[in-house]
Amino acid sequence: MRTPTLTQIQPADVVVVPASFTLLSMLTVEENVVLPLRLAGLDTDPEWLGTVLRTVELDGCAGTRLGDLSRGEQLRVALARALATRPATLVVDDLTGTVDSVTRHGAIRTLRRIAEELGLTVVLAARDAAEAGLPDRIPGDAVS
Q: What is the CATH number of the domain that holds 120?
A: 3.40.50.300
* Number of domains observed in the structure of the chain: 1
| Residue pLDDT, tens place only, 79-114 | 999 999 999 999 888 765 677 778 878 888 898 899
| Residue 5 located in a structural domain | no
| Residue pLDDT, tens place only, 17-54 | 887 888 999 999 999 999 999 998 999 999 999 999 99
- The whole domain housing 98 covers 10-142
As a whole number of angstroms, the distance between CA 135 and CA 144 comes to: 15
**Exposed/middle/buried for 118, CB within 10 Å: 0-12, 13-18, 19+?**
middle
| Residue 85 located in a structural domain | yes
